[in-house]
Amino acid sequence: MNKPLETTSVMDDIDNALAAARQKYIESHPASRDAHNAAQKFMPGGNTRTVLYHDPFPLRVVKGSNSKLTDADGHEFLNLLGEYTAGLFGHNHPEIRKAIDQALDQGINLSAHNLHEIRLADLVCQRFPSIERVRFTNSGTEANLMAISTARYVSGRSKVMVFDGGYHGGLLYFGNGGIPINAPFDYLLGSYNDIETTRALIRSNQDDLACILVEPMMGSAGCIPGKVEFLEMLRSEADRCEAIVIFDEVMTSRLSGGGAQKLFDVMPDMTTLGKYIGGGMSFGAFGGRSDIMEIFNPESQPGIPHAGTFNNNSLSMAAGCAAMGRVFTPELADALHHRGEDLRNELNRIANKMQVSLQFTGIGSLMNLHATAESINCPADLKSSDPRIKQLVFFDLLESGYYIAPRGFIALMLSITDQDLQGFCNAFEQVISKRKPVLET
Specify whether 115 is located in the same domain as 80: no
Note whether 166 and 227 are same-domain residues. yes
128 and 74 both lie in a single domain = no
Rounded to whole angstroms, the Cα distance separating 105 from 204 reads 57
262 & 192 share domain:
yes
Final residue in a domain of this structure, among 327, 344, 370: 327
Q: How confident is the model at residue 254 (pLDDT cuts 50, 70, 90)?
A: very high
Give the alpha-carbon dihedral of 161, 163, 166, 167, to 10 degrees.
Answer: 10
**Angle of helix 418-439 versus helix 387-399 axis, rounded to 10:** 130
pLDDT of residue 5: 43
What confidence tens digit (pLDDT) does each residue in 301-319 have?
Answer: 888 999 999 999 999 999 9
Maximum alpha-carbon separation in the chain? 73
2 has pLDDT over 50: no
Using the 3D structure, point to which of 284, 312, 327 is the last residue of a domain: 327
Residues 103 and 232 in one domain: yes
Cβ proximity of 108 and 314 under 8 Å: yes
Please give the order of strands across the beta sheet that includes 284-288. 133-137, 284-288, 270-274, 244-248, 209-214, 159-163, 186-190
d(CA 10, CA 300): 66
Q: pLDDT tens for residues 188-238?
A: 999 999 999 999 999 999 999 999 999 999 999 999 999 999 999 999 999
Instruction: Answer yes or no: do 119 and 218 share one domain.
Output: yes
Which of 294, 312, 327 finishes a domain?
Answer: 327
* Same structural domain, 267 and 232: yes
Instruction: Say whether both 147 and 242 belong to one domain.
Output: yes
Q: How far apart are CA 317 and CA 203, in angstroms?
A: 41
Distance CA 116, CA 34 (A): 42
Stronger pLDDT, 109 or 156, i.e. the higher one: 156
Q: Residues 273-297: what's their mean pLDDT? A: 97
pLDDT of residue 10: 62
What pLDDT, on a 0 to 100 scale, did the predictor assign at position 1? 40
Q: What is the CATH number of the domain that holds 17?
A: 3.90.1150.10
- What contacts 396, CB < 8 A, 6 or more positions away? 21, 431, 434, 435
What residue numbers bound the domain in which 420 lies?
5-88+330-439
Q: Write down the pLDDT at residue 9.
A: 63
Q: How many C-beta atoms lie closer than 10 Å to residue 180's C-beta?
A: 4
Q: CATH number for the domain including 100?
A: 3.40.640.10
CA gap 287, 274 in Å, rounded: 12
pLDDT level of residue 83 (50, 70, 90 thresholds): very high
Mean pLDDT of 259-276: 98
69 and 111 in a single domain? The answer is no
Q: Do 361 and 223 meet the contact criterion of CB atoms below 8 Å apart?
A: yes
Say whether pLDDT at 7 is over 70.
Answer: no
Quote the percentage of the chain above a pLDDT of 70.
Answer: 97
- Average pLDDT value over all residues in the chain: 96
Number of separate domains in the chain: 2
The pLDDT-based confidence of 120 (bands split at 50, 70, 90) is very high
Q: What phi and psi, each to the nearest 5 degrees, are found at residue 217?
A: -135, 125
Confidence at 8, pLDDT banded by 50, 70, 90: low
Residues in the chain: 441
On whether both 77 and 102 belong to a single domain, the answer is no
Q: Provide the pairing of β-strand 402-403 with 76-79.
A: parallel
Taking the complete model, does pTM exceed 0.75, yes or no? yes
Residue 179 has pLDDT above 80, yes or no: yes
Residue from 183, 268, 256, 254 nearest 219 by CA:
254
Q: Picking from 199-203, 285-289, 434-438, which range would have the lowest pLDDT averaged per residue?
A: 434-438
Task: Mark whether 204 and 154 lie in a shared domain.
Answer: yes
Cis amide bond preceding 44, omega within 30: no
Q: How confident is the model at residue 328 (pLDDT cuts 50, 70, 90)?
A: very high
pLDDT at 12: 78
Q: Which of 324, 286, 299, 298 is nearest to 134 (CA)?
A: 286
Least confident of 3-7, 65-69, 177-181, 372-376: 3-7
Kindly report the backbone phi and psi dihedral angles of residue 205, in degrees, each rounded to the nearest multiple of 5, phi listed first. -125, 20
Which strands, in side-by-side order, build the sheet including 409-411?
A: 359-363, 366-370, 409-411
Together in a domain, 47 and 178: no
Checking if the pLDDT of 55 tops 60, the result is yes
As a whole number of Å, the end-to-end CA separation of the chain is 24
